Amino acid sequence: MTTPSPADPRTPALGLADAVRQGDRRALARAITLIESTRPDHRAQAEALLDALLPHTGNSVRVGISGVPGVGKSTFIEAFGLHVIGLGHKVAVLAIDPSSQRTGGSILGDKTRMVELSRNAGAFIRPSPAGATLGGVARRTREAMLVCEAAGFDVIVVETVGVGQSETAVADMVDLFLLLLLPAGGDELQGIKKGIVELADLVVVNKADGDLVAAARHAVAEYRHALAFLKPAVPDWRVPVLSCSAATNSGIDAVWATIGEHRAVGERSGARDARRAEQAGAWLWSEIRETLIDAFRAHPAVRTALPELEGRVRGGSLVPTAAARSLLERFRGG
């Protein structure tokens, strides 16, 4: 890239990039705020920022974590983060919260969830932006991940709530997708939406402590059996099922060791780089698709005609292809 003149609106972004690179935490927070902004001039600055930071990204283990409410996700991430920081790493926790539109991001955004981790100098916790759509959150979370990497965080945790809307988005931006489960099989599993277990690279049964030790052991066996029916997404990697207790801090080391094994296997086979190249390509196309459809929905002539046409299609009195053509003619008309 060329060096911009002082009058270039992107210049502040480059100063911010330097500060991020030097590990300035307030700069990091400001950089992510800039990325989350929808103002066009901010978007231009955000792009300049990312362009400057890109050569310094990619050097982290990217871990997605999901699980239904009640599985102990916050406790797990706190125990996991502190363990990993204890080994000399720096951990950033980002959230994708499909409910943030309704709740203002309170479920995942509440910093009081991970008190000890959030106070640790080796950790950076960033809640979901309030009021954003899932697509928007996912787009910006990918960029925030890059900024955290440039700031020297070498373990990135992208967490989401296990209700089935956001897991695919998370799995599509990480090296390893970890699914947290309750120490119970059968009916309990039914809180997990279709297809979520299949996304996992690693399954961990949490709460394997106290009265639940036997139940956890049983659940591990059940999930191993169920997972034996699934084809592995990564060559040379059979999805392991572990148990742990985040509350008593047991089994967390084995989870981290298994993430290390997954990384080693993926680096050896080239699967990790291939997955990242695939993710970047898919991200490009999802940006294109989302921006196109946003422009379509926002088009005045489309907005005027859409409700009636969509209603007729759903009611079975208009063929979808005909409705689509009619709307697209309005869109391309100007």
Interface with its own copies (CB under 8 A): 43, 46-47, 50-51, 54, 57-58, 139, 142-143, 146, 185-186, 189-195, 197-198, 222, 225-226, 228-231, 233, 276-278, 280-281, 283-284, 287-289, 291-293, 295-296, 309-310, 313-325, 327-328, 332
Detail the DSSP E strand segments found in 80-235.
Answer: 91-96, 123-126, 155-161, 176-181, 202-205
For the bound state, the minimum distance from the C-beta of residue 155 to its own copies, rounded and expressed in Å, comes to: 19
Token pair for residue 292?
Answer: 């196109």
> Considering beta carbons, is residue 256 or 283 the nearer one to its own copies?
283
Q: What are phi and psi of 10, to 5 degrees?
A: -85, -10
CB 16 within 8 A of CB 30: yes
What is the spatial distance between Cα 60 and Cα 55, in angstroms, rounded to a whole number? 13
For the bound state, the minimum distance from the C-beta of residue 235 to its own copies, rounded and expressed in Å, comes to: 13
For the bound state, the minimum distance from the C-beta of residue 31 to its own copies, rounded and expressed in Å, comes to: 13
What is the spatial distance between Cα 229 and Cα 194, in angstroms, rounded to a whole number? 15
> Considering beta carbons, is residue 173 or 244 the nearer one to its own copies?
173
> Considering beta carbons, is residue 247 or 306 the nearer one to its own copies?
306
Outline where 2-132 has alpha helix (H): 11-21, 25-36, 40-53, 73-86, 100-103, 106-109, 115-119
What is the spatial distance between Cα 230 and Cα 251, in angstroms, rounded to a whole number? 25
For the bound state, the minimum distance from the C-beta of residue 318 to its own copies, rounded and expressed in Å, comes to: 7
> Considering beta carbons, is residue 66 or 245 the nearer one to its own copies?
66
For the bound state, the minimum distance from the C-beta of residue 252 to its own copies, rounded and expressed in Å, comes to: 26
> Considering beta carbons, is residue 86 or 235 the nearer one to its own copies?
235
